């Protein structure tokens, strides 16, 4: 007796009745897409051949098979279109899938022949090329998501009519945030006439404006985040909370996250709110505060790509500008490349302004005109105004002395060459990376949960101390004596 299964036997093999039933049941199994089974499809094809009686039925079999399959798909699509919502046969996800496909199609439409060219100010990243670089850092969103994100960023740049940078991705429980960064306009109405002693405008944490989306394939889903106040940054540093993925989710924490206080009011005492779209103490404000900290501490560049301006403004001591001399950049890049491959962390510098413990980048301006600003004494990056090297960054106690950055070459080991790139990874903010080479400008990206790493000895929670009890009066209360005035006697008429 042969050990071969029926499918391996020759054409002369005779199946038993039980084997024939098994084979027929196998052909009647449904497919993964939910269409006709192979048995039903073959039945329709044979019926079509018998009905139309072609001259060469054997040669036309494949053609009839394709025609039958195409007709079946059209019939299924027509059924879905005719089914009303709420019908028991109507798939709840069908409408969502069709809406998703419509958004994707809108994003992929080629420009019309008579369409206007993209404005020169609309600059967007070449994300497809950058994705290859970031793969060396172990970061990849997948080819399909990366391409859809590239098209979405291009659409955002055209809408905002300015340069857009892909900032990164914040991981959340119900849906991740993709973050885009643009430079805040000087005429931004949200920052017009604010009290600069309480809110920094376009020369601090609000130098950039951020947009987020959970659907990279939908260009219309980019949502502008509210601007941030110093008090929000100070309190956000004491919070550690996973993001939900809902910008309107309440943030129930202590101390409470301020979003609508007298710290953000007009000079004429009219209430002012940075973004009326979001309610008080919502996730949008916490997200914006965390993005401000990550940008300040983790956006890096190489020494020589930025410079201090020739005419230094005393009100902006750490203002920097990008080096515009391409020859100097190239010469500098070739010079430092060997040092880069030696993993010299002194070549990496902070490219953004530092945020002090007061939540500010610039010294506190005096309310009285004509007086010099009051610099903070707690952050040397705020005081000195220099491009600080990451080699000076250290963990606070009890991990004092440990560096905050880890550098390595990619590829390394036997694959290391003069064309290798250098990757710098933040140990304080897991997920923040910077990568560069002699031929590539530094690229920065963050993919993480949006909060820093704890120290080796976790700090126990300690609520803030209560305020000192105030006395109602400086002196004891004494009852005031009654003043009794004698009435004037009226003179009698004579």
Q: Which of 354, 32, 174 is nearest to 363 (CA)?
A: 354
Segment 401-415 mean pLDDT: 84
Percent of the chain residues past pLDDT 90, beyond the cut = 20
Place of tokens 């201090």: 308
Q: Cα–Cα distance between 269 and 168 in angstroms, integer?
A: 37
pLDDT score of 45 more than 60: yes
170-190: pLDDT as tens digits: 999 999 999 999 998 877 777
Q: Under DSSP, is residue 257 helix (H, G, I), strand (E, B) or coil?
A: coil
Phi-psi label, residue 374: left if phi above 0, alpha if psi -120 to 50, beta otherwise = beta
Segment 18-44 mean pLDDT: 77
Residue-level pLDDT at 208? 92
Distance of CA 348 to the CA centre of its chain: 24
Residues contacting residue 182 through CB under 8 Å, at least 6 positions apart = 160, 162, 163, 164, 165, 208, 209, 210, 211
The DSSP 8-state label assigned to residue 366 in this structure reads P
Task: Please give the sequence-ordered ranges of beta strands (E in DSSP) within 152-231, or none if there are none.
Answer: 165-170, 177-183, 208-213, 223-224
Residue-level pLDDT at 348? 87
Mean pLDDT over each residue of the chain, to the nearest integer: 77
Which pair of structure tokens corresponds to residue 248? 């309107």
pLDDT score of 312 more than 60: no
Write 407-415 long-range contacts (CB < 8 A, 24+).
Answer: 407/343, 407/345, 407/348, 408/343, 409/341, 409/343, 410/136, 410/137, 410/435, 411/136
Task: Please give the sequence-ordered ranges of beta strands (E in DSSP) within 25-152, or none if there are none.
Answer: none
User: Helices then strands (H, E): number in the chain?
Assistant: 10, 12
- Residue 49 phi/psi, 5-degree rounding, is -65, -45
DSSP string, 320-377: -EE---HHHHHHHHHHHHHHHHTT-GGGEEE-S----TTS-SSPBPPSSTTSPPB--S
Reported as a pLDDT band with limits 50, 70 and 90, residue 287 is: very high
Reported as a pLDDT band with limits 50, 70 and 90, residue 85 is: low
Residue-level pLDDT at 54? 87
Reported as a pLDDT band with limits 50, 70 and 90, residue 33 is: low
Segment 266-270 mean pLDDT: 40
Reported as a pLDDT band with limits 50, 70 and 90, residue 295 is: very high
Task: Please give the sequence-ordered ranges of beta strands (E in DSSP) within 237-320, or none if there are none.
Answer: 300-302, 306-307
Q: Which of 380, 378, 227 is nearest to 317 (CA)?
A: 380
Q: Under DSSP, is residue 185 helix (H, G, I), strand (E, B) or coil?
A: coil
Residue-level pLDDT at 152? 92
Residue-level pLDDT at 93? 63
Q: Cα–Cα distance between 247 and 238 in angstroms, integer?
A: 20
- Residue 424 phi/psi, 5-degree rounding, is -120, 125
Residue of 350 and 322 predicted with greater confidence: 350
What is the rounded (10 degree) CA torsion for 43, 49, 52, 55? 180
pLDDT score of 349 more than 80: yes
Question: Per DSSP, what are the bridge partners of residue 406?
Answer: 425
pLDDT score of 118 more than 90: no
Residue-level pLDDT at 11? 46
315-333: pLDDT as tens digits: 454 455 565 556 665 655 5
- Give buried/exposed letters for 462-486 (b at 16+ CB in 10 A, else e): eeeeeeeeeeeeeeeeeeeeeeeee
Q: Under DSSP, is residue 104 helix (H, G, I), strand (E, B) or coil?
A: helix
- Give buried/exposed letters for 163-194 (b at 16+ CB in 10 A, else e): ebbbbbbbebeeebbbbbbbebeeeeebbeeb
Torsion sign across C-alpha atoms 451, 457, 463, 466: negative
Would you say 246 and 181 are in contact if contact means Cβ atoms under 8 Å apart? no
Q: Cα–Cα distance between 106 and 88 in angstroms, integer?
A: 31
Q: Under DSSP, is residue 165 helix (H, G, I), strand (E, B) or coil?
A: strand
Residue-level pLDDT at 84? 57
Q: Cα–Cα distance between 322 and 301 in angstroms, integer?
A: 10
Question: Per DSSP, what are the bridge partners of residue 282?
Answer: 250
pLDDT score of 3 more than 50: no
Residue-level pLDDT at 379? 46
pLDDT score of 476 more than 80: no
pLDDT score of 167 more than 90: yes
């Amino acid at each position: 007796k042969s050990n071969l299964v029926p499918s391996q036997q020759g054409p002369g093999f005779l199946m038993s009745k039980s084997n024939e039933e098994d084979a027929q049941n196998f052909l009647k199994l449904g497919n993964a897409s939910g269409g006709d089974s192979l048995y039903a499809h073959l039945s329709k094809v044979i019926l079509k051949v018998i009905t139309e009686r072609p001259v060469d039925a054997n040669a036309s079999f494949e053609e009839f098979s394709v025609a039958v399959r195409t007709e079946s798909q059209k019939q299924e699509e027509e059924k879905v279109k005719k089914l009303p919502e709420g019908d028991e046969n109507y798939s709840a996800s069908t409408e969502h899938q069709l809406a998703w496909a419509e958004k994707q199609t809108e994003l992929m439409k080629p420009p019309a022949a008579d369409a206007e060219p993209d404005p020169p100010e609309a600059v967007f990243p070449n994300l497809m090329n950058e994705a290859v670089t970031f793969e060396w850092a172990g970061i990849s969103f997948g080819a399909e998501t990366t391409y859809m994100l590239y098209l979405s960023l291009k659409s955002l740049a055209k809408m905002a009519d300015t340069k857009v940078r892909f900032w990164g991705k914040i991981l959340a429980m119900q849906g991740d945030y993709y973050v885009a960064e643009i430079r805040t306009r000087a005429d931004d109405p949200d920052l017009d006439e604010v009290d600069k002693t309480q809110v920094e405008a376009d020369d601090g944490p609000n130098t950039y404006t951020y947009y987020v989306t959970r659907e990279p394939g939908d260009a219309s889903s980019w949502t502008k985040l509210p601007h941030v106040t110093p008090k929000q940054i100070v309190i956000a540093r004491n919070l550690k909370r996973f993001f939900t993925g809902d910008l309107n989710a309440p943030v129930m924490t202590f101390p409470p996250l301020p979003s609508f206080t007298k710290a953000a009011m007009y000079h004429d005492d009219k209430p002012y709110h940075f973004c009326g779209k979001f309610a008080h103490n919502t996730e949008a404000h916490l997200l914006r505060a965390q993005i401000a900290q990550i940008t300040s501490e983790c956006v890096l560049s190489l020494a020589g790509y930025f410079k201090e301006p020739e005419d230094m403004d005393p009100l902006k001591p750490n203002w920097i500008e990008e080096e515009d001399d391409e020859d100097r950049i190239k010469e500098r890049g070739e010079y430092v490349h060997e040092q880069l491959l030696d993993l010299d962390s002194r070549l990496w510098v902070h490219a953004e302004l530092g945020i002090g413990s007061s939540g500010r980048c610039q010294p506190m301006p005096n309310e009285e005109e004509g007086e010099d600003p009051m610099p903070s004494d707690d952050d040397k990056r705020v005081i000195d105004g220099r491009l600080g090297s990451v080699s000076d960054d250290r963990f606070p106690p009890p991990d004092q002395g440990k560096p905050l950055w880890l550098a390595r070459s990619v590829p390394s080991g036997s694959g290391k060459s003069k064309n290798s790139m250098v990757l710098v990874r933040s140990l304080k903010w897991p997920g923040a990376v910077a990568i560069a080479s002699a031929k590539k400008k530094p690229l920065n990206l963050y993919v993480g949960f949006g909060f820093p790493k704890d120290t080796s000895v976790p700090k126990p929670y300690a609520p803030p101390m209560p305020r000192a009890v105030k006395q109602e009066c400086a002196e004891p209360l004494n009852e005031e004596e009654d003043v009794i005035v004698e009435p004037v006697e009226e003179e009698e008429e004579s």
